[in-house]
Structures are given as structure tokens and as C-alpha cells.
Amino acid sequence: MTNQKEIEKRRTFGIIAHPDAGKTTLTEKLLLFGGAIQTAGAVKSNKIKKTATSDFMEIEKQRGISVATSVMAFDYRGKHINILDTPGHKDFAEDTYRTLTAVDSVILVIDNASGVESQTEKLMEVCRMRNTPVIVFINKMDRYGKDAFDVLDEIEQKLGIGVRPLAWPIGMGDDFKGVYNMYKHELSLFDANKTNISEELVKFNDLSDPALDEIIGEKAARELREEVELVDGVYDPFNQEDYLSGKIAPVFFGSAVNNFGVRELLEAFVEISPSPRGRDTDAGFVEPNDPKFSGFVFKIHANLDPNHRDRIAFLRIVSGKFERNTFYKHIRNNKKMKFANPTSFMAQEKSIVDEAYPGDVIGLYDSSNFKIGDTLTEGKDFNFVGIPSFSPEFFQELRNDDPMKSKQLEKGIRQLMDEGVAQMFIQEPGSRKIVGTVGQLQFEVILYRLLHEYGAKCSFTPMNYHKACWITSDKPEEIEKFMRAKVGSIAKDKDENYVFLAETSFLLEMAERDYPEITFHKTSEFK
């Protein structure tokens, strides 16, 4: 098969949601449809239910499960679908943001009762930065929640994206009768707690058909007719181009736990979602049908087996064909590498792959060669760009409690930073190690892993900083002036870039006002 056919077959996406909206449940139902799993309950939720940060076992479990569910692939209607898992816990948000650089589209799950929640807003910001196409699934229609029009308005206002319902719910909670698929003119009738995956479908080309009143009752039929008319009046007809450019999100309604509305979602997804897209590099755009292989690492996972210090680097293939035991160039290290055991992920099973195509994600076993953002290529030298590192919001100074283990500590810290667990800043004088994270939980993870994987005993002292911003300017003298004035608040990141550690948002605003020639960056490229 030619590369082009393989590319067209693939769909690589992520499911994003505020915790508890139903991401795990929906993932599982999609895998059931794809035949990748046979029984419900096979996909373990990887969320940390307790917020007790000292629960190390929970953290370890989280890490273990998230390797198993990092990528779940299945085939459906001739398409090879890769679901990339995105941790819902906000302390792992950075992991999720980076995973979003490796998908071509997303499905956003919203809880019908809660509407748009804080985590959803953050995740959608990342999608909008990249114009990622989004399909919305409004879940838990079997419960009483917000009015459908209100949820749609909330999405438009809070998430800054237009919507176009392609299905419409008939009632909700105990009165939830089903969903009318406006795209296919089909009515699906709801039957709670259905364990199989078939649905009762009735075709309606014309909603004025009196049979509708018989099936769902007069009142519900009247409301459905009115609401569908309103939807068609308020929203422009669905246009696939607007979806693909990230302007308009088609919306579906259902109940994931009851396996309802999931088929409609999957059918539409297969029909409208984009095949693998190219990516930007520092030497121009690379198209998927470029015959030379290229890909980038967006996630690194330490292996759970303490006897093997191996890690798995997750590589998204952007162009060409990846082949096992073939030399490719690791651009940052300027080194040729080949891989004997590249792994693919079919649902929860890992297996060795001989070849992989654009859109696929493979796991590369590695001791310490890879960092997040690394590029592998077959041809020219270039680096993929756009894998962000976000300005951390929690800071603690790392102290070595066992001077005999300094080497282990250095190695451990370097590897954890390569994995993107946190960011480290060095402050002079005295080479103070300041660790910055997006969530408190990361500090527990770092101490635990340094001790158990590297034998280095450390402790943290909290520091009162609000944000770390990278500073750049076209005028070097401005940077010098700023650094002289703020000498106690300047540090360097791992690539020797200067960052300003602002103690409060007020001080950051003041600095931005007083030094207009300096740009204070909230994200940096992971390079």
C-alpha cells in the first residue's frame, strides 16, 4: 500500500474534558465499537481520585496506567484510529498540553449539568492556539442538566469557538427520550443501561411526519420540531471547512455510560475529522506525504520496572514511513539511531511494529537519549517547533539532603526534567535549584522518584513566586538594565535562557509596564 493510502486511513485524536465529565467512559465505549475491547470496565480511569498528595501508591498507579492507556488504537469502517490519552488531573495539565501537539483533532466532552468548567477552558486555549478541529459531545443527558441552548451559548462565550449542533436531544434526565440526528435525519431512541451497542433507529426525512408523535409522544414531538427549527434558524448550516479550520465545533448529545449517542459521534468523526496533518519545523512546513520519514517526541515515560532504567519516548510520525532497525538521525544529538523494538499500542496491548505511518504514535525504548521536543528524521536536518513549555506556577527550592549522592541527584533531576515532569531554574549566586511546576502534586512525584529511582534524598522549601516568564528583547541593553534592577528575581532555565521570577501578578504587570521593550513570555518552546 502506498503511503498516501495509509495516511488517508489514519485519524489521530485526543479526548479532552474537565475531570468527571466522562472522558474515560467515552473512550471505553469508542473502543467497544471498534472491537478493540470486548467488555466494559476494561479501560481503567487514570485519574487520581484522592487529592491526598502523599498517596505515593496512587501516583505510581497513575504512572503505570497512563503508560498502558497512552495510546489506544482501533479500526473502524476502514479507518485506523489512534486515541491519545490526555490526563484529566490538573497537576498533569502540561502533559496534556504537549499531547495535544501530537493530535490532529479533539473530541471535547462536557458534562450537561456542569457546562463549561475551568479545565475545559484551559485545554481549549491550547486547541485554539493550534486551530485544532474540535467536536463537542455533551454527556450525561440521562441526568437533569442545563438547557441545551444555554450550554451551546456557554461554549461559544467561554471557549471562543462557534458551534453547530448536528444532533439534538429530546428531553433530559428521566424524560430523556433520545437524540435526533440532524445530519442524517435519524431518530435514535434511548434505552437506559443498554449493555449491547445497537440502537433503535428510525429514519425521518420530515419531522412533521405524525409518526413522530406516536413514537416519542405529542409534547416531546412538538418541542423537538420547534427546537430543530430554532437551531436551523440560529446556526449556519454545517460547513466542514469551518470545522477543519477550528472555527466551528459540531455538537452531539448523549450519555456515554449508557452507550447512547456514541455511535452517531463516532460515525460523524470518521466522516469529517482530518487525516494526519503536517507540522511546522524551523526549516518550513513538513507535509505528511513527504516521502522521507520524520517525527517528534511529545512525551517520555519512565518505565515502571525499577530493575530497568528504561524509558519510553512517544514519537508522533509526521511524514514518510518509519521502519524498524533502520537508522534515523536524532537531530539534537547529531547522532544516528536505530530501534530494534519500536512499540505500537493496539488498545491496551503493546506489540513490536515493523513499520508505522504519519499519524501513528510509536513507543521507543531509550535510556536517556530523548528529551521532549526531539526530532528524528531520515533526510534533511530540521527541528519540529511548537511543543510548548508553560510558565510554571508553583515553585520550590530543591535541597540535597545527602551530599554523598550528588551525582545521582544531578542525573535524576536531568532525566526528570527531560521527561517534562517539571522545569528547573538555576539562580546565582550559589546555583540555587528552583523547581517550577504547573501543579503541587509534581513535587511529591519528584521527591518520590528521586529517592526510589536514583537513591537521592532531597527536600523542598516552598518559594513565593507567582510566575516564571522568559524574557527577550531586540535591545540587549534593556535586558541588562532589567537584570541589574531585578537581580534577586532572575534565573536561568536549562537552556541558559533568562527568566524573570515574579513574586506577584502586580509585580509582573509593573515590570511589563516599566520595560515596554522587553517581552515577558508565558510559554517557551521546549528546546
**Binding positions for ligand G4P, rule: CB under 6 A:** 17, 19-25, 45, 47, 88, 139-140, 142-143, 255-258
End-to-end CA distance of the chain: 36
CB of 206 to ligand G4P, least distance (A): 30
Q: Name which of 147 and 282 has its Cβ closer to ligand G4P.
A: 147
For 522, other C-beta atoms within 10 Å of its C-beta total 12
Q: Name which of 10 and 23 has its Cβ closer to ligand G4P.
A: 23
CB of 468 to ligand G4P, least distance (A): 29
CB of 438 to ligand G4P, least distance (A): 18
- Pairing type for strands 248-253 and 134-139 reads parallel
Q: At what angle do helices 118-129 and 148-159 cross, to 10 degrees?
A: 50
For 291, the 3-state DSSP assignment is coil
For 152, the 3-state DSSP assignment is helix
Phi and psi at 228, nearest 5°, equal -65, -40
Contact assessment for residue 138 and residue 112, using Cβ atoms and an 8 Å cutoff = yes
Q: Name which of 158 and 194 has its Cβ closer to ligand G4P.
A: 194
Q: Residues marked as binding for GTP?
A: 85-89, 139-142
Tell me the C-alpha distance between 245 and 359, whole Å: 18
Q: Name which of 31 and 416 has its Cβ closer to ligand G4P.
A: 31
For 506, other C-beta atoms within 10 Å of its C-beta total 10
Q: Which amino acid is at 416?
A: L
Q: Residues marked as binding?
A: 85-89, 139-142
**For residue 162, what are the CA distances in angstroms to 117, 149, 242?**
17, 13, 9
CB of 140 to ligand G4P, least distance (A): 4
Instruction: Describe the chain by its helix, strand, coil percentages, rounded to 5.
Output: 30, 30, 40
CB of 144 to ligand G4P, least distance (A): 10
Q: Name which of 111 and 418 has its Cβ closer to ligand G4P.
A: 111
CB of 43 to ligand G4P, least distance (A): 9
- In whole angstroms, what separates CA 298 from the centre of its chain? 10
Phi and psi at 311, nearest 5°, equal -130, 160
Q: Name which of 47 and 414 has its Cβ closer to ligand G4P.
A: 47
Tell me the C-alpha distance between 80 and 293, whole Å: 19
The side-by-side arrangement of strands in the sheet containing 498-502 is: 458-463, 394-400, 432-437, 423-427, 490-492, 498-502, 467-473, 518-521
For 470, the 3-state DSSP assignment is strand
Q: Name which of 266 and 317 has its Cβ closer to ligand G4P.
A: 266
CB of 258 to ligand G4P, least distance (A): 6
Q: Name which of 258 and 437 has its Cβ closer to ligand G4P.
A: 258
CB of 357 to ligand G4P, least distance (A): 29
Q: Please give the angle made by the CA atoms of 277, 282 and 288, to the nearest 5 degrees.
A: 20
Q: Name which of 23 and 177 has its Cβ closer to ligand G4P.
A: 23
Nearest to 329 by CA among 316, 338, 321: 338
Q: What is the DSSP string of 212-235?
A: HHHHH-HHHHHHHHHHHHHHHHHS
Q: Name which of 17 and 451 has its Cβ closer to ligand G4P.
A: 17
CB of 230 to ligand G4P, least distance (A): 25
CB of 47 to ligand G4P, least distance (A): 5
Tell me the C-alpha distance between 419 and 221, whole Å: 54
For 25, the 3-state DSSP assignment is helix
For 299, other C-beta atoms within 10 Å of its C-beta total 26
